[in-house]
Structure 1
């Protein structure tokens, strides 16, 4: 088979749009991708920018699709799936959902039994090609279909498969919600620098470049982040004093509890959305 035909419902939205853009940039044929939506102008602009096909008719777009990517808000997912259940149940394309919180059991009820489904949990840095996507495959997903999902995820960053569905909750706690943790820390650094007398523009520039540099250094290094931290610290020096303040203030324990809270809330949302 040539490259599978992919249909992205909600394809002109931010996340699906980023994935489509990443696929096209990596060499995936634009004429094998269809993005659907309701806004004619937005779709036309998206088609002009990416070269993909666009449509306002979900069912028509899905008629010969090999892969169906669902990228709508969780609140609208049930109605969408039920509207497509007939054709999906008949054709059984690979379904990849980008919506957070909805368990496979709900999709199986809404779309019908025997449909191969992959849950994908990308994070917002996918918008700039440096994302992380957690993936979980339901029953009946073939190795070839897993590879398709991997290819889609790697078009905007890295992919991580989990072997049990609850693993998605842990992915959310680390990478799904993780960007906000770093934004919070950056915000606190910027505010502290301003209070110390630095101009806000300078504080923002230094903080963001420092965060970018630290992440790139960690990603390129063959030692773990604990050692990289120690490499910056001189005995009884400035960095050591700052790190000791973080540790005495309970930062490691606070991070652990915050991530546990995040994972618990993800599990709660799954139960709520599975009603």
Structure 2
């Protein structure tokens, strides 16, 4: 028997897998879930966990309260058009595709019924969701009922924290900070390791020291009442080793470089949205 929370994933890749991992045994049981994916290997992996799968969209989708579109942006329109006929008026639709605005998604969904795109939420998760340590930015169109907003937050909170934004354009900033952010951290870890090796440590030593340092500093910043700036000051003795290192960071405008990198990510996210809108094909209702 299915419980009241039933979720269909349209697309069963890595991010869907992260979310499914957080949901299973927590908010849902295997029989409450469905994965729709054309890849036989992907379906087999989920079937091993007891989760029903389907090769393509069908009438069975109408039985699920939440649809999560977890396909690549390039094939989202195709996925929406193949499934929208099975939407019900109370279906909550969540998209995790980058660069596809709610306006564009609503236009594609409206091929079924204009009322059925009224419950649409767009979100930007990140890869630490794979270990339930992610953070997701969410934006809901104004017509989404409060109960559905709470439901979406429950689902996304199963793999980490959830942060709402009031304007859809802010999702570009979320993408630049937390969506792309893990890559910045991984680059910093690589750099710390390379620096340690250059100074005489072996690779294992450098890796263990770098990872433990990042983890410990992050946990300290999360738990401390002090701001990150104050914590940095506490580590930095005048004329000491940390001060010498930070002076080199400042000489290279480290803060400005990070901000410029984030601006580039933000601008690219906005550009992707424009490209998706421009590349949208004519739907079977004659819309653009």
Tell me which interval the TM-score lies in, with the shorter structure as reference length: over 0.9
Q: 8 Å contact 1:68–1:94 — kept in the other structure? A: yes
What's 2:222 paired with?
A: 219
> Where has structure 1 moved over 4 Å in runs of 4 or more?
none
Q: 8 Å contact 1:8–1:68 — kept in the other structure? A: yes
User: How far apart are residue 266 of structure 1 and its match?
Assistant: 0.8
What's 1:267 paired with?
A: 270
Q: 8 Å contact 1:7–1:61 — kept in the other structure? A: no
Q: Which whole-Å CA distance do the structure 1 matches of 2:59 and 2:242 have between them?
A: 60
Q: Which runs of 5+ in 2 are unaligned?
A: 279-288
SS of the aligned residue for 1:58 comes to: coil
CA gap 1:165/1:233 in 2 versus in 1, 3 angstroms: same
Q: 8 Å contact 1:34–1:61 — kept in the other structure? A: no
What's 1:167 paired with?
A: 170
Q: Which whole-Å CA distance do the structure 2 matches of 1:84 and 1:47 have between them?
A: 21
| Residue deviations 1:59-117 (CA, integer Å, cap 9, x gap) | 233121211100001000011111223222x5451100011110111111111023111
What's 1:247 paired with?
A: 250
What's 1:9 paired with?
A: 10
SS of the aligned residue for 1:42 comes to: helix
User: How far apart are residue 257 of structure 1 and its match?
Assistant: 1.2
Q: Under a length normalisation based on structure 2, what TM-score does the superposition of the two structures give?
A: 0.89
For residues 147-226 of structure 1, the aligned pairs below 5 Å read 147-226=150-229
Q: Would you say how many aligned residue pairs link Structure 1 and Structure 2? A: 272
Q: Which whole-Å CA distance do the structure 1 matches of 2:142 and 2:37 have between them?
A: 29
What's 2:285 paired with?
A: none
Q: Which runs of 5+ in 1 are unaligned?
A: none
What's 1:117 paired with?
A: 120
SS of the aligned residue for 2:175 comes to: helix
